[in-house]
Amino acid sequence: MAEVSVSLGANKYGKAENRVVRIVRDTPRHEIIDLNVTSQLRGAALVDSYLSGDNSLVVATDTQKNTIFAFAKEYGVSSVEEFLLQLSKHFVEGFEWIEGGLWQAEQYDWERITVGGKPHDHSFVRKGQATRLATVQVIEGATHVTGGVKDLVVLKSTGSEFHGFPRDRYTSLVETDDRIMSTSVTGRWRFLPEAVAAGIDYNALYDKILGILLEQFASVHSLALQQTLFAMGKVAIEQCPELAEVKFAMPNIHHFVYNLEQFGIDNPNEVFHADDRPYGLIEGTIVRDGADPAPEAWLDVPTSV
């Protein structure tokens, strides 16, 4: 058999998709910078890590991750480009065998939720994401109409607590009186058949309901996502006589304070790791007392995330 010779071609390595959320909280009016950052390094000397598992020059992907989070605290993020430049310099200038790399980021835009005509200090809605939902179910001679929304991503950087829950030998969650609360709201609301028959300005009502959901999310000082969920549905039904019931599915998008203490850096709720899974999944239906229930309206309608 002819001898086959191979060599290592192009390569790079690093940590992908670090979900870094930086809150600037020097004043009561917080700012949020939300990034998905990937760092990868290149260098001819790294060939031995591929060929023989020699790690002596491998700046660990875990170190690259930590650096990203630490820089978010220590230098802030004046712009995502500046942030990536700073990372690139750190690795290329700080490790002589690192010749280059690729640093990539996505930045997710948030805008302030407006409450009472004023932009809220610490509650935000993700821009340009929400999708409107609707169903018409004709069944057993009746017509049921629902409206809804999905991917309505909201976050509040304070005004959320979670404590007082039972503890057993498997409980490790630390009680908190100041946490980030974030969810991607899936909500569907069923219109009262009488209102459907009388005619509804569905577009205006959609805007009104969305406004109520956002305002409640922002204004309720939350002791649990369950409490916020109920408040959102309650006020929607109170203020919209057309609604019979509202169903919500809300993932609790956990934001963990990143441990920078290990590098001697104080992190008072400023740099978080946004974890996409697992997530808490909080669901609930809020019903108008006295309205006829209509389980058939929901047949084959997905009401979870």
Ligand X SMILES: O=c1[nH]c(=O)c2[nH]c(=O)[nH]c2[nH]1
Binding residue positions for urate: 61-62, 162, 179, 226, 252
Cis geometry, peptide bond prior to residue 295 (ω within 30 degrees of 0) = no
Of 186, 205, 183, residue with least CA distance to 248: 186
Q: Specify the stretch interacting with ligand X by CB under 6 A; choose among 9-17, 49-57, 76-84, 219-227.
A: 219-227
Q: Within 239-268, which residues bind ligand X (CB under 6 A)?
A: 252
Quick check: is 90 catalytic?
no
CB 38 within 8 A of CB 104: yes
Task: Please report, as a single letter, which amino acid is at residue 60.
Answer: A
Q: Does 225 contact ligand X by CB under 6 A?
A: yes
Q: Does 280 contact ligand X by CB under 6 A?
A: yes
Least distance between ligand X and beta carbon 189 (Å): 22
Size of the site for ligand X (CB under 6 A): 7
The DSSP bridge partners found for residue 137 are: 144
Residue closer to ligand X by CB (options 193, 284) is 284
Of 224, 231, 228, residue with least CA distance to 173: 224
Q: Give the residue numbers of the binding site for 5-hydroxyisourate.
A: 61-62, 162, 179, 226, 252
Residue closer to ligand X by CB (options 72, 250) is 250
CB 103 within 8 A of CB 38: yes
What are 92-95's contacts with CB under 8 Å, separation 24+?
A: 95/43, 95/57, 95/59
The residue from 162, 258, 272, 298 that contacts ligand X (CB under 6 A) is: 162
| Interacting residues with ligand X (CB under 6 A) | 162, 173, 224-226, 252, 280
Active site residues: 15, 61, 254
